[in-house]
Structure 1
Amino acid sequence: MYRLSQETPEDRAEIEALYDTCFAPGREALSSYRLRDDVPPVADLCLVARDDLDIVAGAVRFWPVRVGAAEALLLGPIAVHPTRQGEGLGGLLMNASLDAAKGSGWQRILLVGDAPYYQRFGFRLLTDVTMPPPTNPARVLGLGDWSGVRGDVTRWTA
């Protein structure tokens, strides 16, 4: 059994340790991290999953970005501890966070990931959206209303 809650500043160290465990060294050198530099995440959409021993088992974060002139959310990172994978926790985090994003009025969500996994949540390939290099264009996926939205993904500016 997992308890989902909004991420708090007290969760940060545990979540960063989870991301370090789940992703390759140098993950912060990826181009998607440049979109996050000096931009706060959308706090009310960032979720943490704790087990019955209150240990972080998974987490997901969202960041605002621009795609051309449009606003979008960049989903990620999302991670489930290796000892908890295969239990449906990734799907639970995805569905809860996507519902929260939709409830908050966000019209489109972007991520960089494996299409076969994310298609089950409704994500599809975005051919008119360009992530900063060296992102593989076949991994740029979107959910929501992308009609007429095209261009480069850039950092959020208020």
Structure 2
Amino acid sequence: MTRIFFAIIMILAGLGTSAAAAKTLVAEIDLSSQQLTVVYKGEALARWKVSTGRAGFRTPPGTFRPQRMYREYFSRQYDGAPMPNSVFYDAGYAIHGSYETSSLGRPASHGCIRLSPANAEKFFDLVVTVGAENTAIRVLP
């Protein structure tokens, strides 16, 4: 899967803006299975474990678009916790890397969608390549 990811990034990077703009990237997060599926042009490219909102914290369901992105970000709410490769999609909610990888696959966050740092970087790079305007984030209950 990693080779496929980088091949797509390289192909898209070589395309003109208009060709890249015609592409669609979807991050589909299933809260019940704690998985994120990356879909490009209707084809599932990868499926990764995530951690979403634990008891007392909620990851809001719905369909969103990336609003802002940061390679390096530190939480302003939670003691400066590192949030590498953050893709914010709904106010303070983001898909981002987490160094607490042992928690992936079960609810453990304050509401954000946590990925391993390597997968967060892949997702971030895909959003940059395809364009935030061509990316959808679907959070399913």
Q: TM-score, normalization: structure 2?
A: 0.24
Higher relative contact order (CA 8 A, sep 6+): 2
Q: TM-score, normalization: structure 1?
A: 0.23
